[in-house]
Structure 1
Amino acid sequence: MSYSVGQVAAFAGVTVRTLHHYDKTGLLSPTGRSHAGYRRYGDADLVRLQQILFYRGLGFSLDETATLLDGPQAKVLAQLRSRQQELRAEIARLQRLDEATERAIEVQQTGVSLRPEERAEVFGEVAFDLSYATEAQVKWEHSDAHRQAMARASAHTKEDWRRLMGEAAAWRAELLAAFDDGEPGDGDRAMGLAEEHRQHLTRWFTPCPPDVHRRIADDFAADPRAFALVVPQSGQRPGLAAYLCEAIHANARRSGGSRTESEEDR
């Protein structure tokens, strides 16, 4: 069975012009012609074309491909091994670039410019969910406060993060103790912890007025990924996120923070 140049081009995903060029250079000349003089490709031609496309896909030039197709087997094997080593080196280079890009993305999304091993050392169980970080970045992309918070976070040193996380751990222990002791969410102890959290955000990231703190609290109650940034999974209790949200709202009312119309409608 034989095929026209158009059929072969469609089979192989190449252009007719490419097949004409292969014929002109002698790389792939069809074995047949129609009565009208048109090129006709047989099964053996298709096998050779498949080999050509394979070698071209590996990055070999047309001249190198011709040598591989028509040269001795030992030389073909040597060239393939050489190309394999080049590809492995390139894969390793691209892997390093991928890792660097991933780290750059994480820095942009989370504001944390620590190396992965430093993250594990400093943050422990507290994990940044990149899907949440991305959504937050989109949600607050026009917020000057968010941009300021990200800028300050990215400027923190490893020692800054140690101190920050130490404060957060001590605060978290007090929060869990108040919750386990049955302290009311709108009581003085819980509201005091809410105020400490607000001051912590102001100290390390950006000024956090009561209305902004309310919105953060609502995220804690609505999205487990947000709450996991303050209380990792191992320390969570049923109802704890809602408890913290209640405490923050109560503290905002005590501080005189007014609720906006959009917040009233939620």
Structure 2
Amino acid sequence: MADYSVGEVAAMSGISIRTLHHYDEIGVLVPNSRTAAGHRRYCDDDLARLRRILYYRALDFPLDRIAALLDDPDPGTHLRRQHRLLRQRQARTSDMLAQLDREVEALELGIALSPAQQREIFGTDRFADLLAEAEGTSAQWRVTAVYGEQEWRAIKAEADAVIGLFADAIAAQAPVGSDSATDAAEQHRQHLERWFFECGPQRHVEIADQYLADPAAAATWDAVAPGFAQYVHDAVVANVARRHSTS
């Protein structure tokens, strides 16, 4: 039968000699024998018991509970129990990792909001995906991941106000070159520049062109009022012309 000193067992198991002494003192792991000088000597059965102890310790079992479990003479019972407990822990860990992955993905996509917060503020839990698609149209986007719930609520309120300005201009049948329409366009440009990216007049026209070129974006705008996307586009172009004429 193999015979190991306390130092050898400590080196093989990765736990301290002091811990092994403690396990002996409380009866959790009593060495197989001692030398004439009183030094502890461990056998293979002792090492097998120590492995089971360490499994249970990894599962946060207290030592007195471990001692009671190890009194079961059937080693298969221990293995099955430890296997089941580790599987349960693995499932919990997987759930936690999945949640962290979702949060990391949200940050990488540029939004630090939970799906519930996205639904509450924007009416969809896919806002992070939509934002990521929008960011793909510009290399100059700011790092919106730093925005918290308060900032996103402010952004949404400001965006709604701008949309309201356009809607009012349409309802009043104001021409796209009117002050009300071009003022709304200028507010929209400043909104984009304040929160998302540098947006000079020419860049603003490019954004407006994208609204018309993207059927999904155009449909979102046109849901506000018929012809809304075209009106916004033309008001943006008219605002650029107005700025040039006054510069």
**Residue in structure 2 matched with residue 17 of structure 1 by the alignment:** none
Q: Do structure 1's residue 116 and structure 2's residue 115 form an aligned pair? A: yes
Closer, same or farther in 2 for the Cα pair 1:78/1:220, shift >3 Å? farther
Deviation at 1:194, TM superposition (A): 0.5
1:10-31, Cα deviation, whole Å (9 max, x unpaired): xxxxxxxxxxxxxxxxxxxxxx
Corresponding residue for 2:159? 168
Counterparts in 2 of 1:91 and 1:163: CA distance versus 1, 3 Å: same
Q: Please state how far the C-alpha of 1:226 moved relative to its aligned partner.
A: 4.1
Distance (Å, rounded) in 1 between the aligned partners of 2:207 and 2:125 = 17
In the other structure, the counterpart of 2:86 is 86
Task: Name the structure, 1 or 2, with higher relative contact order (CA <8 Å, separation 6+).
Answer: 1
**Distance across 2 between alignment mates of 1:253 and 1:189:** 15
Q: Kindly provide the CA deviation profile for residues 219-244 of structure 1, in whole angstroms up to 9, marking residues without a partner as x.
A: 2222254458x85x8x5333211211
Alpha-carbon distance in 1 for matches of 2:96, 2:218: 33
**CA displacement at 1:166 relative to structure 2:** 1.6
The residue number in structure 1 matching 2:24 is none
Alignment of 1:243-262 (within 5 A): 243-256=231-244
Deviation at 1:180, TM superposition (A): 3.0
Percentage identity across paired residues of the two chains: 28
List per-residue Cα deviations over 1:103-124 (Å, max 9, x = no partner).
3222222x22123333333334
Equivalent residues, number: 172
1:113–1:134 Cα change, 3 Å: closer
How has the CA–CA distance of structure 1 residues 182 and 77 changed in structure 2, closer, same or farther, with 3 Å as cutoff? Answer: farther
Question: Structure 1 residue 126: deviation in Å?
Answer: 8.9
Take 1:155 and 1:244, find their aligned partners in 2: how far apart are those partners?
29
Q: Who is 1:51 aligned against? A: none
Helix, strand or coil for the counterpart of 2:244?
A: coil
Q: Which amino acid aligns with 1:222?
A: A
What residue number does 1:201 align with?
A: 192
The match for 1:50 is none
User: Could you report, residue by residue, the CA deviation over 1:149-174 in whole angstroms, capped at 9, with x for unpaired residues?
Assistant: 2x2x2222322222222222222222
Aligned runs of 1:63-142 on 2, under 5 Å? 83-109=83-109, 111-124=110-123, 128=127, 130=129, 132-140=130-138
Deviations 1:73-117 (A, max 9, x none): x998996676455334323322322232223222222x2212333
How far apart in 2 are the matches of 1:93 and 1:209? 48
Q: Which runs of 5+ in 2 are unaligned?
A: 1-73
Q: CA deviation at 1:209?
A: 0.1
Partner of 2:172: 181
Tell me which of 227, 233, 238 is aligned to 1:239: 227
Q: Which amino acid aligns with 2:120?
A: E
